[in-house]
Protein backbone atom coordinates (compact mmCIF):
# COMPACT_ATOMS: atom_id res chain seq x y z
CA UNK A 1 0.00 0.00 0.00
CA UNK A 2 1.24 3.47 -0.91
CA UNK A 3 0.10 6.87 0.35
CA UNK A 4 0.49 9.81 -2.04
CA UNK A 5 0.42 13.09 -0.10
CA UNK A 6 -0.11 16.36 -1.99
CA UNK A 7 0.00 19.90 -0.62
CA UNK A 8 -3.16 21.70 -1.79
CA UNK A 9 -2.27 25.20 -0.60
CA UNK A 10 -3.88 27.54 1.91
CA UNK A 11 -7.63 27.14 2.31
CA UNK A 12 -10.24 29.85 2.91
CA UNK A 13 -9.63 29.57 6.66
CA UNK A 14 -5.89 30.25 6.10
CA UNK A 15 -4.82 26.69 6.93
CA UNK A 16 -2.38 24.48 5.03
CA UNK A 17 -4.48 21.81 3.34
CA UNK A 18 -3.36 18.39 2.09
CA UNK A 19 -4.85 15.48 0.18
CA UNK A 20 -3.69 11.88 0.29
CA UNK A 21 -4.57 9.10 -2.12
CA UNK A 22 -4.39 5.49 -0.95
CA UNK A 23 -3.08 3.10 -3.60
CA UNK A 24 -3.40 -0.64 -2.95
CA UNK A 25 -0.80 -3.29 -3.77
CA UNK A 26 -2.41 -3.80 -7.21
CA UNK A 27 -1.82 -0.14 -8.08
CA UNK A 28 -5.47 0.90 -7.80
CA UNK A 29 -6.63 4.06 -6.04
CA UNK A 30 -8.91 2.80 -3.28
CA UNK A 31 -9.67 6.05 -1.50
CA UNK A 32 -8.44 9.40 -0.37
CA UNK A 33 -8.46 11.76 2.53
CA UNK A 34 -8.20 15.47 3.09
CA UNK A 35 -6.51 16.93 6.13
CA UNK A 36 -5.18 20.25 7.29
CA UNK A 37 -2.75 21.82 9.70
CA UNK A 38 -4.56 24.29 11.98
CA UNK A 39 -1.34 26.30 12.37
CA UNK A 40 2.19 26.37 11.02
CA UNK A 41 3.89 26.16 14.41
CA UNK A 42 3.57 22.44 15.16
CA UNK A 43 2.94 19.07 13.54
CA UNK A 44 -0.74 18.72 14.43
CA UNK A 45 -3.17 17.75 11.66
CA UNK A 46 -6.93 17.35 11.62
CA UNK A 47 -8.59 14.93 9.22
CA UNK A 48 -11.39 16.64 7.34
CA UNK A 49 -12.58 13.39 5.76
CA UNK A 50 -11.55 9.93 4.62
CA UNK A 51 -13.40 8.40 1.69
CA UNK A 52 -12.84 4.78 0.71
CA UNK A 53 -14.48 3.43 -2.45
CA UNK A 54 -17.47 1.25 -1.66
CA UNK A 55 -15.90 -1.89 -3.15
CA UNK A 56 -12.78 -1.41 -0.99
CA UNK A 57 -14.44 -0.79 2.38
CA UNK A 58 -13.95 -2.97 5.46
CA UNK A 59 -10.43 -3.92 4.37
CA UNK A 60 -8.48 -1.66 6.71
CA UNK A 61 -7.63 1.16 4.29
CA UNK A 62 -9.08 3.98 6.42
CA UNK A 63 -7.35 2.61 9.51
CA UNK A 64 -4.09 2.39 7.56
CA UNK A 65 -4.55 6.05 6.59
CA UNK A 66 -4.89 7.02 10.25
CA UNK A 67 -1.72 5.07 11.09
CA UNK A 68 0.10 6.75 8.19
CA UNK A 69 -0.86 10.20 9.46
CA UNK A 70 0.05 9.23 13.04
CA UNK A 71 3.53 8.26 11.82
CA UNK A 72 4.04 11.79 10.45
CA UNK A 73 1.99 14.08 12.68
CA UNK A 74 0.14 14.47 15.94
CA UNK A 75 -3.42 13.60 14.95
CA UNK A 76 -6.40 15.54 16.33
CA UNK A 77 -10.11 15.11 15.65
CA UNK A 78 -12.86 17.67 15.11
CA UNK A 79 -15.50 15.06 16.08
CA UNK A 80 -17.77 15.87 13.12
CA UNK A 81 -18.54 12.38 11.83
CA UNK A 82 -21.11 10.77 9.60
CA UNK A 83 -23.04 7.93 11.23
CA UNK A 84 -20.70 5.37 9.66
CA UNK A 85 -17.68 7.51 10.53
CA UNK A 86 -18.72 7.69 14.18
CA UNK A 87 -18.92 3.88 14.40
CA UNK A 88 -15.52 3.55 12.70
CA UNK A 89 -13.99 6.12 15.09
CA UNK A 90 -15.42 4.30 18.12
CA UNK A 91 -13.93 1.07 16.76
CA UNK A 92 -10.51 2.73 16.53
CA UNK A 93 -10.82 3.76 20.16
CA UNK A 94 -11.90 0.29 21.23
CA UNK A 95 -8.97 -1.34 19.38
CA UNK A 96 -6.64 1.31 20.84
CA UNK A 97 -5.47 2.43 17.40
CA UNK A 98 -6.07 5.98 18.64
CA UNK A 99 -6.66 7.64 21.98
CA UNK A 100 -9.30 10.24 22.70
Structural domain of 46: 2-94
Beta bridge partners of 64: none
Please report whether residue 99 resides in a domain: no
CATH of the domain at 53: 3.40.630.30
Q: In 3D, which of 54, 58, 64, 71 has the Cα closest to residue 23?
A: 64
pTM: 0.86
Do 23 and 4 form a contact (C-beta atoms < 8 A)? yes
Please report whether residue 29 resides in a domain: yes
DSSP state of 55: G
Q: Could you tell me the pLDDT band of residue 37, with boundaries at 50, 70 and 90?
A: very high
Q: How crowded is the C-beta side of 3, counted as CA atoms within 13 Å?
A: 19
Express each pLDDT in 66-82 by its tens digit: 999 999 999 988 888 88
In total, the chain counts a number of residues equal to 100
Mean pLDDT along residues 5-13: 93
Amino acid sequence: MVFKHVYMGRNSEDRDEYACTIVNNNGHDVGHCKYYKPNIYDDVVIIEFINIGYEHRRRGYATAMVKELQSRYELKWDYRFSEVGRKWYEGLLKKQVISD
